[in-house]
Structure 1
Amino acid sequence: MNQNYSTRPLRGAVSTRLRAALPFLLASAALSAPALAFAAAPDAAAAPDAAAGADAEPLGEIVVTATKRETNLQQTPISISVLSAQTLRDRHVQSLLDLADGAVPGLRVATFEARQSALTIGIRGIVPLDANQPAREQGVGIYIDGVYLGRQHGLNAALFDIERVEVLKGPQGTLFGRNTEGGALSLVSRGPSGRFEGRVTGGIGNYGSHNTELHLDLPEVHGFSVKLDGVIQHQDATTKNPLEGATGWNYYDRKGIRAAVRWKPVDGITNDFSFDYSRDSNSPFYSQLLNVNPNGCVAGPQAAAPKCVLPGTQYTTLTGTVKPTLPGVVVEGDKRMTVADIGVPQQPSVDRTHGFTNNLKWSIAPQIELRSITAWRGVNVGQWDNSGGAHRVPVVAPGCATTACNFSRYSLANLNQTQFSQEFQAVGTISRFDYVAGLYYFNEHVRDDAATPNSNAITGYVTPGQTSGYQYVILDPCRGSGGFGSQTECRSTDRASRVRSRSYAVYGQVTWNATDAIHLTAGGRYTHDKKQGELLMSRNIDYALRPDIAAANGYRPLDASWNRFNPMVTLAYDVSNDVHVYAKYATGYRAGGASSRTSNYQAFNPEDVRSYEVGMKTDFWGHRGRFNVAGYIMDRDDSQVDISSIQTTATGNFNNLVTINAPGTTKIRGVEADLTLRPVDGLTLSASYAYTYTKIPLVPITVNAGGVSYTTLQRFYIVFTPRNAASGSIDYELPMPMVSDGAKLRFHIDGNYAQATQTFDQFATKADSSFIANARLALADINVGRGDTRLTASVWVRNLFDRAYVYRRDPSNSLPGAPTTSATTASVNNILGDYGNFNAPRTFGGEISLRF
């Protein structure tokens, strides 16, 4: 059951800023969220309708660990959504990417264009556009069993036996630390039980999909309990590649194993050790050409093409020629292509993740428990992305010769990351005080490189629109792209870098339960971050061998450190046993870094956020209804934004991606609401809504070219953050005693909506709005033998109505490049059109699961 709730009452003094914010937040909660009106009706009608639900079981208690201790979700003063194991099964969630449909409206998940395994994850408008760079951090912390994951690479590996997913909203800088300014996504695995039991699941579906799971618990022996998990997930491509033997798009093949050992040598001591390994072989979603020259770009005065303007520029003249599309290229902006128009070399990208975690808990006395969380983790990535074909630059012109006939950018990259973390915690209660104190250390090493050769060429291309006489050829994989190729030993390295990051922190949080109803929490975390990085290569120039070129490019290694203190204050009041309200002030920060996509390794500073939040959590109708609402104001300083620009180097000009800090304060405002009802026994209705308003102040951008310089104010946007998002679900369970004792028929359907939003922070262009429905029907818990052996047979469907929408729209290829030779002149030579990626088509299948 998807339930989105704040936790226990707030503890702490309410600042002047927060008191000033209360009217806005409460007004927003009362007026701006349509879900509130929906929630009010059942409450108002509780008395007359009580008899109708007299036989319904109350909603169960949900346990969360957001405060580093187990607490009731409804009494924890934090806005949280929880996805249980049953919810994940009902939605057929196999990996985190499956949550991109909007199961939690305030949680936004999107895959990186180049491969499925790198995910962009955002909460409350804190969403990094490109956190794939080794020296850049994500703004939402991802945790597995309390261990922070330093990179977003490999996040889409197969999920093991997950007990629940906790989505903590708003800054979590006190207890969870840096890079959690938007919130945290915490995955909690099911631990060893010490009993012999298990579950085997097998399933098949369309697009050649199949999945197998084995979860086995072994009996406790001499204080040791062992649990083993194995997962296999496979799906063939949903967009076929016409090139014989080449991989299509939206293909995946995931395999993973996990072993956990729980040791209880004496009462009060529990030590959990686990090892996991995953291999994710996948290909990206196909990048389609959605239109051709949509802005009407043409050589001549820029005023003649008023829409043909690159943000942040003020050129007056356009030069060059907008070229026609290559023969056979399909332009399709309304539906996903099932077969690509041009075959290209494509092989799966491979992500390998592994980890060792040791979690020790020692309950010394009722007042104190000491904990140690030690973890080694790593990820290795080999990226092969040729999803664009002729739909992306470079653009080939009729009458081309030699390398000018080459196209299809093959994006190749390698990344190796290792991390070690150690955390010590003391958790307990003394009299009326609940406390958490901790020490934290994190050490990360990352190294990456990237190359972008062309893989294809056209011969015999003489005139626009010709239908014969031309031929597409595959370039030699070693020397065919201007003397370079895609093979590892033949690449021209665009960039290569290495980074070491270290973080030290001390934190504490105390809750004073002043009365049984009033709870005051205050906490803080001091963090020292240090980051050292080097740009090893840029545009195939080894900076160690050519320090003169590195110096001429203005290159400086990254050697920076930052200190932050992040406080949190919460005041919570239990109005009754069923109504809890809170007010909260919290801060968070995301560390700075440097962009390896620039020739000078341009550095950028951290960003900081302040959050003011009020919330209410309620149970009503005899605990057959729950309604939670939270309103918040967040102010973010020095927002990290990305711009594409031209850098002048010692060897020429090139287009690069620069990360800068936007001056001023970014405003983020929002309301979140969740409603759960159980009107009759077996029927559960859920609805969630998130409203998010964002605005980044205008950013001054300076252009220098041809001895001319000017500065213009540019608007930036927060990506993958819809203004309105909502989800709802219906779950019905019917006993089936005629089948067997304890058997049930379960039905689930959910619908998820998100308004259109930007996918690039420097372009106003939006992707499409979306509505995705999923469903599952299961005959569950059929007694098939002695004891408690139970069988469940189910059928499922994702994207029930086969809706197609562009979740990522890139307008950069439909606008002129940044001025290079003159600040007042830009070229239209490489204009093609917008291109984008469609969501996955309808998938469906059946599963059989045996629990013993």
Structure 2
Amino acid sequence: MFTSPLWAAAAQDAPAPIVVAAADDAVPSEGLDEIVVTATKRETNAQRTPISITVLGGDSLKQRRVLSLVDLSDGSVPSLRIAPFEARTNALTIGIRGIVPLDANQPAREQGVGIYIDGVYLGRQHGVNTSLFDVERVEVLKGPQGTLFGRNTEGGALSIVNRAPTGEFGGRVTGGIGNYGAYNGELHLDLPEFYNFSVKIDGVVQHQDATTKNPLAGQSGWNLSDRQGLRAAVRWQPFEGLTNDFAYDVAHTETTPFYSQLLNFNPNACPSGGTAAVPIRASLAPNCVLPGTAYTGLTGTIRPPLPGVIINSTSRQKVADIGVPQQPSVDNTHGFINTLKYKITPDLELRSITGWRGVTSSQWDNAGGAHRPPVVAPGCVGTACNFSRYSLANLKQNQFSQEFQAVGTLGPVDYVGGLYYFIENVSDDAATPNSMAISGYTTAGQTSGYSYVVLDPCVGSGGFGSQPGCRSIDRASEVRSRSYAVYGQGTWHATDELSVILGGRYTTDKKQGELLFSRNINYRTDPIRAAANGYKPLDETWNRFNPMATIGYQADEDIYVYAKYATGYRAGGASSRTSNYQAFDPEDVKSYEVGLKSEFFDRRARFNLTGYIMDRKDSQVDISSVQFTATGNFNNLVTINAPGNTKIRGIEADLTFRPIEGLTLNASYAYTYTNIPPVLITASAVSGTPPVTTSTSVYQQFYIVFTPRNAASGAIDYELPIGKGDTAVRFHLDAAYSQATQAFDQFETKNDASFLVNGRISVTQIKMGDGDQTLNVSLWGRNLFDKDVLFRRDPSNSLPAAPSSSVTTGSVSNVLGDYGNFNQQRTFGIEGTVRF
């Protein structure tokens, strides 16, 4: 009989041994457990699939206290990078292997890592920070997945798989409390099978109070989170071979951003006092340079910080220096997934995966206060005394996807074929009014005689406010995206040891977008001004063929090696943060990868090693600047395609070792080298009568954000049986290190390196009475050593302004200093789970 050495998945960098079907707090077995994944669209052994993949099972997530995806931002999976967008956790930046888009939450812009829930792709990164339900495993697929998973997976895919109904009565209830007013509760209930129907219900509640207090009475502090979610799943099995899984979920999330502190004052020694007639020579201030500009002179006056402002670069503030209006941002998500599997013959299964999802997001971000521009000058009058940029935005998205798959075996060939359709409609708007003003501010450094005033949320001093309907709209857009694809992949088992895998996917993407507002100009009612801004609606179609080829070889029973060529691409779009709705093209990546998967010491040890080379063509990079208006300021973000090839090179290694019964050790490492070729940036300005256009050109270096050159993580798990039965004490300790990274494409300025430690002590499987009921009790802590890590440093308002009326001089009038965000401080708590 022919046996396939590749019936499963083959690269595993798991942070801990995982029995995928095991329940939370399950006691580990003597040897390392087999890990089952679905990275190849069929259930396979992770040690026998030519994909570099990390698997986090339900028990591993529980031990690490992962309640939502933002909890993986500590670097526990070295190749996976997760960070809040700006300071906000209601939209996450997610990257793998140096594919980390900075601003993927724009409606006409795509992410570089695909996020999937039970096989359904999520089109937006809004709403992904909702609570995780009853997760069976999280698969982190590394490298381009363009053949089986499609567009926008050039860095990889993050696949969340929820537990399905069992058809047997049982469940568990969890409750816990922690510092900062934290509490959480979970209910997971399986009902008995009834007329071939099995039902499972999951409910979750999670809360944490603000960790930085707001001095303004009645206003929310910073880093608050409150989540509720409900999921109901129904499995129908009318006869053998047919399974239909239907699930509906709804979630509500409220968060406030991390507090943005002022880290320093004029760190680049920008000069003060230059005028348009007599600018100060830029050569006298070599560090006061905005990347991508070639200023010869500097104008404007450096303004002091407002009274009471605290400059602190070493530790997170527990209380903000100036109170400002602040309320939680709100995300509401909902949707259903239906998966039908029909096994026609032992060698052929047909599948239908249908998904409909929606998200609405309302953003209220006043994280910066007086630490962000505009900077108020002493002696100000009228609207010149206004400050505190309140970043407000609304987004509404809905999507529908339909996928048909045929998964089967024909002789020595295992195959997967599929058809895919996806449609998405997104609309958004944004405003950035000033929310505060200072009165009686006459001289720098004064300690009395001034007061801070909250501007009217509707009228405001400048005629606009923060309430809906009263806002000056910076931008608003609508986008409709459609994607069609056909794909196939076949694995030919040439011998019991050698397999050859070939695959390809053809995709057609259509995107139509319209900029409705820009700088409070209604483009539909004022087409003349829209045309004067160079506006053009987005109406583009892109076609791509993404091939893949792999050779896998089972050297012996415990050693598997492979070599892989894979491709992927990220769709193009347009930036709604520009007045002309500037379009940009897709980017494409080619990857060359070799991998080793091994087990030894009688399956007590597992070592996996991967090396890869990726070349990305037409990288989408951002040029960011702040433009000031009479009512506030506008974050102008131009996205361009960098010419040439971006180089990404890396090594990933993972070791899992169980030297004695009950003790498991793990270490993971990722090295990632990235380099974007310098880009020639040309700036132009029109001035004078008659008008004269002046241009300058300079090469600018861009960077890939949130991607450390070196990153590592480790974990220790020890289980000690006590008493009779299965009762045990479990000790868990994990740590993660990440080298310093950039937070913005265009700035060399780096964040802090980080070393974070988490831990958990549990007493599990405590018998309750004569039945099957058991109790687990745990003490947990995150960031045990309370490390202050600056995960985001923004130098944009410590540098001259972007070109406006002149490309030869730059204004320093809004130079203040770097500002940034510190990580979550130490949190701890106690939790209990009753299983029945």
After TM superposition, the structure 1 = structure 2 runs for residues 532-551 of structure 1, keeping only pairs within 5 Å, are 532-551=512-531
Match of 1:801 among 785, 790, 793: 785
After TM superposition, the structure 1 = structure 2 runs for residues 379-778 of structure 1, keeping only pairs within 5 Å, are 379-644=359-624, 656-705=636-685, 706=687, 707-736=693-722, 738=723, 740-778=724-762
Give the drift of 1:577: 1.1
Alpha-carbon separation, structure 2, partners of 1:7 and 1:204: 44
Alpha-carbon separation, structure 2, partners of 1:9 and 1:202: 36
Q: Deviations over 1:720-766 (max 9, x none)?
A: 00000000000000111x2x411010000001000000000100000
Match of 1:268 among 218, 229, 241: 241
After TM superposition, the structure 1 = structure 2 runs for residues 276-291 of structure 1, keeping only pairs within 5 Å, are 276-291=249-264
Point out the more displaced range, 106-115 or 84-93: 106-115
Q: Look up the match of 2:84.
A: 111
Tell me which amino acid in the other structure corresponds to 1:68.
K
Give the drift of 1:355: 0.9
Q: Deviations over 1:572-618 (max 9, x none)?
A: 00001100000000000000000000000000000000000000000
Alpha-carbon separation, structure 2, partners of 1:647 and 1:230: 45
* Residue 373 in structure 1 maps to residue 359 in structure 2: no
Q: Look up the match of 1:48.
A: none
| SS class of match (2:213) | coil
Q: Look up the match of 1:340.
A: 320
Give the drift of 1:132: 1.2
Root-mean-square deviation (CA, aligned residues, Å) is: 1.8
Match of 1:177 among 150, 166, 173: 150
Give the drift of 1:7: 9.7
CA 665–372 in structure 1, closer or farther in 2 if over 3 Å, else same? same
Say whether the 8 Å CA contact 1:454–1:481 is kept in structure 2: no
Give the drift of 1:115: 2.3
* Residue 298 in structure 1 maps to residue 271 in structure 2: yes
Match of 1:87 among 40, 57, 60: 60
Tell me which amino acid in the other structure corresponds to 1:139.
G
Alpha-carbon separation, structure 2, partners of 1:375 and 1:381: 20
| SS class of match (1:489) | coil
Alpha-carbon separation, structure 2, partners of 1:56 and 1:356: 36
| SS class of match (2:469) | helix
Match of 1:258 among 231, 235, 244: 231
Give the drift of 1:652: 14
Give the drift of 1:644: 2.3
Say whether the 8 Å CA contact 2:618–2:645 is kept in structure 1: yes
Alpha-carbon separation, structure 1, partners of 2:392 and 2:7: 44
* Residue 120 in structure 1 maps to residue 93 in structure 2: yes
Q: Deviations over 1:486-515 (max 9, x none)?
A: 110111100000000000000000000111
Q: Look up the match of 2:22.
A: none
Alpha-carbon separation, structure 1, partners of 2:265 and 2:9: 55
Match of 2:112 among 139, 145, 165: 139
Match of 2:200 among 220, 227, 231: 227
Q: Look up the match of 2:817.
A: 833
Give the drift of 1:786: 2.5
Tell me which amino acid in the other structure corresponds to 1:817.
A
| SS class of match (1:490) | coil
Alpha-carbon separation, structure 2, partners of 1:635 and 1:7: 30
Give the drift of 1:9: 8.2
| SS class of match (1:849) | strand
Q: Look up the match of 1:29.
A: none
Tell me which amino acid in the other structure corresponds to 1:550.
A
Tell me which amino acid in the other structure corresponds to 1:284.
P
* Residue 203 in structure 1 maps to residue 183 in structure 2: no
Q: Look up the match of 2:23.
A: none
Alpha-carbon separation, structure 2, partners of 1:725 and 1:655: 32
Q: Look up the match of 2:25.
A: none
Tell me which amino acid in the other structure corresponds to 2:569.
Y
Alpha-carbon separation, structure 1, partners of 2:76 and 2:632: 48
Tell me which amino acid in the other structure corresponds to 2:743.
T
Alpha-carbon separation, structure 1, partners of 2:542 and 2:157: 21
* Residue 847 in structure 1 maps to residue 820 in structure 2: no
CA 69–823 in structure 1, closer or farther in 2 if over 3 Å, else same? same
Q: Deviations over 1:49-104 (max 9, x none)?
A: xxxxxx98210100000000000000011000000111111011100000000110
Alpha-carbon separation, structure 2, partners of 1:390 and 1:418: 36
- Where do 4+ consecutive residues of structure 1 move more than 2 Å? 6-11, 644-649, 651-655
Q: Deviations over 1:681-718 (max 9, x none)?
A: 00000000000000000101001124211211100000
CA 655–104 in structure 1, closer or farther in 2 if over 3 Å, else same? closer
User: What is the identity percentage for the equivalent residue pairs of Structure 1 and Structure 2?
Assistant: 70
Say whether the 8 Å CA contact 2:735–2:758 is kept in structure 1: yes
| SS class of match (2:72) | helix
Say whether the 8 Å CA contact 1:7–1:74 is kept in structure 2: no
Q: Look up the match of 1:361.
A: 341
- The higher relative CO (CA closer than 8 Å, separation ≥ 6) is in 1
Q: Look up the match of 1:38.
A: none
Alpha-carbon separation, structure 2, partners of 1:248 and 1:654: 24
Structure 2 residues not aligned, in runs of 5+: 1-5, 15-27, 273-279, 688-692
CA 241–468 in structure 1, closer or farther in 2 if over 3 Å, else same? same
Say whether the 8 Å CA contact 1:9–1:573 is kept in structure 2: no
Give the drift of 1:113: 2.2
Alpha-carbon separation, structure 2, partners of 1:193 and 1:10: 28
Q: Look up the match of 1:76.
A: 49
Q: Look up the match of 2:690.
A: none
CA 653–448 in structure 1, closer or farther in 2 if over 3 Å, else same? closer
Say whether the 8 Å CA contact 2:253–2:330 is kept in structure 1: yes
More helix by share: 1
Give the drift of 1:301: 1.1
Tell me which amino acid in the other structure corresponds to 1:315.
Y
Say whether the 8 Å CA contact 1:567–1:586 is kept in structure 2: yes
Tell me which amino acid in the other structure corresponds to 1:824.
T
Say whether the 8 Å CA contact 1:8–1:572 is kept in structure 2: no
| SS class of match (2:805) | coil
Equivalent pairs counted in the alignment come to 803
Alpha-carbon separation, structure 1, partners of 2:314 and 2:281: 32
Say whether the 8 Å CA contact 2:507–2:543 is kept in structure 1: yes
Match of 1:248 among 210, 221, 238: 221
Tell me which amino acid in the other structure corresponds to 1:179.
N
Structure 1 residues not aligned, in runs of 5+: 1-5, 12-32, 36-54
CA 264–466 in structure 1, closer or farther in 2 if over 3 Å, else same? same
Alpha-carbon separation, structure 2, partners of 1:644 and 1:558: 21
CA 532–62 in structure 1, closer or farther in 2 if over 3 Å, else same? same
Tell me which amino acid in the other structure corresponds to 2:434.
N
Give the drift of 1:331: 0.5
Point out the more displaced range, 750-759 or 784-793: 784-793
| SS class of match (2:757) | strand
Alpha-carbon separation, structure 2, partners of 1:786 and 1:62: 33
Give the drift of 1:785: 2.1
